[in-house]
A and B are shown apart, each in its own frame.
Chain A
Amino acid sequence: MELASRAFEVITKPANVTDEVKGLLPDLGNADALPYWKHVLRMAALCHDIGHLPFSHAAEEELLPKGWTHERLSRLLIESEEMREIWDNMVPPLKPKHIVKLALGARKAKDLQFSRWETILSEIIVGDAFGVDRVDYLLRDSHHTGVAYGKFDHYRLIDELRILPSFEGSTEPSLGINGGGIYSAEALALARYFMFSQVYYHPIRLIYDHHLRDFLTAWLSKGTLLPEGTFPIDIEGHLRTTDDEVNAALRIAASDPEYPGHISARCIMRHCHFKRLYERDPQDAKLNSEPGAAIAMAAKREFGANAVRYSKPKVKNVAIDFPVCGPDGRVQPAISASETLSKLQPTAMEFVFIDPELKAKAKSWLDRNREKILAAAGEQEDEEHETQPKSSNTHVVEPRNAEKG
């Protein structure tokens, strides 16, 4: 909320707005409306993550009914009667739809049409390049996990934010940066890269997601909490189910073999997680698009599905799609303005995990069979691709995993 306010103040400050941008975004010239939008933005920042389930993203895909996401729950809450009362009593009263648009952005509120102004404001919160949600979680998670990777000069970054044409001569405004802020933007991109590779997508963190998901699936589907086997999607039920309820159930389940999800709960509470058997090697990807998936499938056949877990975290893009304003006033794309950003590449990751008791046996099995498995899977790919339902992507379909948002 605080960072969103700062960003708003900077980008709407008259000295930071060129005539060209004013022409593209008439809202910037409407001084009476700006305080309203600042309020909307602050409330949207506050409510952005309100729909999160216990332990955030860990089990969202599997344990919400089809078509439901935490963003949809956020929207349900923002538009609820109880919240409407709050929005109505603010001065000036706020429209819930505006808060929804800014809190979720166009990616997650696809049914809503965004004006240019609303697009820019939503980018302040959820934008790929400078979204304050991202700025906030990198700094916060870095602090709480005790690693230094996520730190960067966010004050300088925010001070240099500007609304600019998407590219020289473009009629589409975009959230960009003044040339002086390019080093902070690089630092943000690097912080994100390191936090994902060293923390969020660390294999041990990923396997604990699996154990938690397995536990929750067993716990919820046995009717312990909900007969339908998913997290609740009504407001009361959603607000009632917190990390505390899950933590309490985990403790009981870990010590009671009769309790649903006992094995997974034990893995978590006693720190006896599955071990890494395979990690994606770029050379293997030349034989098969998803070498990890091929090895996981073969390992499941060999050791049983319960002994193997596969993780393919979502590839995080490197946000270089923003304009930079040079000292001469010329706008250029970030990739031209920064050699560092131009060199950053998204990274594909895959991991296969195995029950710790089978680790030695599985390692030796993999050493003997790795090349054979990958070659056989590669030969089948075109056939499998042809028989896949065409509603899925043509390239590689990835399970969503632990995406921040």
Chain B
Amino acid sequence: MQRRGSWCGETHIQKATFFLQDLLGVDAGFDFILYRHGPFSFDLRDELSSMQADGLLELAVKREGYGPTYVPTQFSEMFLERFPKTTARYMKQIRFIADELGDKGVAELERLATAFFIAHRERIASVALRAQRLVELKPHISLPDARFACQQVDSLIERARPFSPREE
């Protein structure tokens, strides 16, 4: 994600993992609910703390006044080398998510992830109805922005098909 320009704060990791799990079927076992800035997993928050405690991640302040960034440690590289099979198995899906979401900020990620949550979990087909629901859940998002986010999500779902393990 960082190599694709992501700020890599907690929100970025939360939304990326949500897409990885719900869009690409990579079952990381996290339970997402609608909470802060859209889909959010408390289990994932605990896992990030656990990874910090295990010396795999560090929190850093990149720019004063901005939220912290998660940075992988030197040890995390060694750690990944110990899991070649697991890493190889999910690399395509991880690259897809990093390519698609790496350059997005918190506000855009919130719109997209919530729009996808509505499409995927609430199974509403029509773009217009999904956009309405998005505004209902997140009143600070305008209807045109909500509609655009729903269309972007539809297109993302199409592009994701070849990367989903279910399609392989």
Please give the residue numbers on chain A whose beta carbons come within 8 Å of chain B beta carbons, in ascending order.
24, 106-107, 110, 113-114, 119, 166-168, 170-172, 282, 285-286, 289, 314-318, 320-321, 330, 332-333, 335-336, 342, 345-348, 378, 381-383, 385-386, 390-396, 398
> In residues 34-48 of chain B, which contact A (Cβ within 8 Å)?
34-37, 42-43, 45-48
CA distance A168 to B67 in the complex (A): 10
Query: Does B67 lie within 8 Å of A390, measured CB to CB?
Result: no
Q: Is B124 in contact with chain A by the CB < 8 A criterion?
A: no
Chain B window 35-79, contacts with chain A (Cβ cutoff 8 Å), 1 for yes, 0 for no: 111000011011111111111100101001111100000010011
A333 neighbours in B (Cβ, 8 Å): 65-68
The 9 closest A-B pairs by CB, nearest first: A317-B49, A348-B53, A171-B140, A346-B53, A390-B27, A107-B42, A315-B53, A315-B50, A346-B49
The residue in chain A whose Cβ has the minimal distance to the Cβ of B44 is A393
The residue in chain B whose Cβ has the minimal distance to the Cβ of A326 is B65
B83 neighbours in A (Cβ, 8 Å): 381-382, 385
Count of A-B contacts judged by CB separation below 8 Å? 105
CA distance A399 to B47 in the complex (A): 13
Q: Is B166 in contact with chain A by the CB < 8 A criterion?
A: no
Report which of A167, A315, A391 forms a contact with B49, defined as CB distance below 8 A: A315
Q: Would you give the shortest CB distance from A133 to chain B, in whole angstroms?
A: 16
Please give the residue numbers on chain B whose beta carbons come within 8 Å of chain A beta carbons, in ascending order.
10, 27-31, 33-37, 42-43, 45-56, 59, 61, 64-68, 75, 78-79, 82-86, 89, 106, 140
B33 neighbours in A (Cβ, 8 Å): 106, 110
Query: Does A320 lie within 8 Å of B54, measured CB to CB?
Result: no
A sample of 22 inter-chain contacts (CB < 8 A) reads A24-B140, A107-B42, A110-B33, A167-B67, A286-B75, A317-B45, A317-B46, A320-B59, A333-B65, A335-B68, A336-B65, A345-B52, A346-B53, A348-B54, A381-B82, A381-B83, A382-B82, A382-B83, A386-B89, A393-B29, A393-B47, A395-B47
CA distance A107 to B36 in the complex (A): 11
The residue in chain B whose Cβ has the minimal distance to the Cβ of A112 is B33
A381 neighbours in B (Cβ, 8 Å): 82-83
**A119-B35 in contact given A286-B75, A346-B49, A395-B47 (Cβ < 8 Å):** yes
Q: Would you give the shortest CB distance from A10 to chain B, in whole angstroms?
A: 22
The residue in chain B whose Cβ has the minimal distance to the Cβ of A347 is B53
CA distance A396 to B143 in the complex (A): 41
CA distance A372 to B103 in the complex (A): 45
Interface-central residue, B49, B78, B106, by most chain A CB under 10 Å: B49
CA distance A314 to B43 in the complex (A): 12
Report which of B31, B37, B106 forms a contact with A110, defined as CB distance below 8 A: B31
Q: Would you give the shortest CB distance from B38 to chain A, in whole angstroms?
A: 10
Query: Does B65 lie within 8 Å of A332, measured CB to CB?
Result: yes
CA distance A378 to B34 in the complex (A): 37
Query: Does B54 lie within 8 Å of A345, measured CB to CB?
Result: no
Interface-central residue, A314, A315, A385, A386, by most chain B CB under 10 Å: A315
The residue in chain B whose Cβ has the minimal distance to the Cβ of A109 is B33
Report which of B28, B36, B59 forms a contact with A393, defined as CB distance below 8 A: B28
The residue in chain B whose Cβ has the minimal distance to the Cβ of A114 is B35
Extra A-B contacts (9), CB below 8 Å, given A336-B64, A345-B53, A386-B86: A170-B106, A285-B55, A318-B49, A342-B59, A346-B52, A382-B84, A385-B83, A393-B43, A393-B47
B31 neighbours in A (Cβ, 8 Å): 110
Query: Does A386 lie within 8 Å of B85, measured CB to CB?
Result: yes
A332 neighbours in B (Cβ, 8 Å): 64-65
A113 neighbours in B (Cβ, 8 Å): 34
Interface-central residue, B10, B67, B106, by most chain A CB under 10 Å: B67
**A382-B50 in contact given A166-B36, A286-B78, A336-B66 (Cβ < 8 Å):** no
